[in-house]
Amino acid sequence: MPDELDAILRLVADGRLSPAEAAPIIDALTRLEETRGERGRERAREKLRSEGTSGRRLRIRVTESGRQVVNLRIPIGFVDRALGFVPGIGADQADRIRDAVRSGSTGPILDIDDDGDGVQISVE
């Protein structure tokens, strides 16, 4: 599934797919992964329990010239993949986001604003 998620996020980043169109696809991919084999499901459940990430989502909002162009909710398990597609995120900010997710934090993590262009990332 990581390849499929990469493809969907790339389509959103390229503007060929809107965030609203991508959200149900990402949710469907998540449900599909969860239903693959009992062993895979149990492994996924155990990982969620151990990381405390059950039901949490990463919210990514991107604005350009004051207009929101991206508004995505991504399952916490896909944070590493998703961060590679967010414009303006450097290694330090990506590490800060990963640390906040691992620690179980909720709420705002990153808010970058540069005269109407910006990125807001939070955990819900």
Each residue of 3-48: pLDDT tens digit?
A: 787 888 888 888 888 888 888 888 777 777 766 655 565 665 565 5
- How many structural domains does the chain have? 1
Residue-number span of the structural domain to which 117 is assigned: 2-123
Supply the mean pLDDT for the chain: 79
Say what the pLDDT of residue 100 is.
86
Q: Report the pLDDT value the prediction gives residue 53, as an integer from 0 to 100.
A: 47
Q: Could you tell me if 11 and 17 are in contact, meaning their C-beta atoms sit under 8 angstroms apart?
A: yes
Per-residue pLDDT tens digits for 52-77: 445 688 888 888 998 988 888 888 88
